[in-house]
Amino acid sequence: MLRTNKLVLTSLFIACGLLLPMAFHSFGMGGRTFLPMHIPVFMGGLLLGWLPGLIIGALTPLLSCLLTGMPPLIPSLPMMFVELAIFGLVAGYLYHDKHKNIYLALVAAMFAGRLGAAFVLLLFSDMLGIHLHPLTYVAATFMTGLAGVIAQFVFIPPLVKRLEKIIKSEVLK
């Protein structure tokens, strides 16, 4: 894929990561339940590779916090910044650059990202004002977002496969 195409798609996934949560919130659908910001991060990493995935995952929550106040700077942004950056990096590395197993990449990225969030909480729990064991926090956020995780497994793989076909057909023209 051309460098320009990757840059445009990276920007598109960041924009989707900003707009999807706003749409979910405007329809009264909770972001913590359906995890709309995660979808473009995973898709960007899976389609474009680890570096664009890392960039999408890091910039999306940061820009969203600055532009919309979601996620809140304290306590959520530091954990989401690390979690989503790891999501994009791991998904992109495992699927795009290594194994080509989309489900393995999604599971590994979800696990690694949540461990990253737990690590941030472990280091900065007093500053963030969250006084839970990091693994309890991760388990609680996973259970709260279970509907979103299920939706990610249902919708992301076919969307990525379809977009891969479109991208390949456009590149071959």
Check if CATH label 3.40.50.11750 holds for domain 3-24+32-172. no
| pTM, to two decimals | 0.94
Please state, in angstroms and as integers, the Cα–Cα distance from residue 76 to each residue in 3, 27, 47, 136, following that order. Answer: 33, 22, 27, 16
Contact, 95 vs 105, CB < 8 A?
yes
pLDDT of residue 100: 85
Residues with pLDDT less than 50, the chain: none
pLDDT digits 0-9 by tens, 144-160: 999 999 999 999 999 99
- pLDDT for the residue 27: 85
**What is the structure's pLDDT at 99?**
79
Q: What is the greatest pairwise CA distance in the chain?
A: 56
Residue 171: predicted pLDDT: 64
Give exposure, 110-140, as e/b (b: 16+ Cβ within 10 Å).
bebbbbbbbbbbeeebeebebeeebeebbee
Each domain of the chain, given as residue ranges in start order, spans 3-24+32-172
Contact (CB, 8 A) for 63 and 22: no
Nearest CA among 87, 85, 80 for reference residue 66: 80
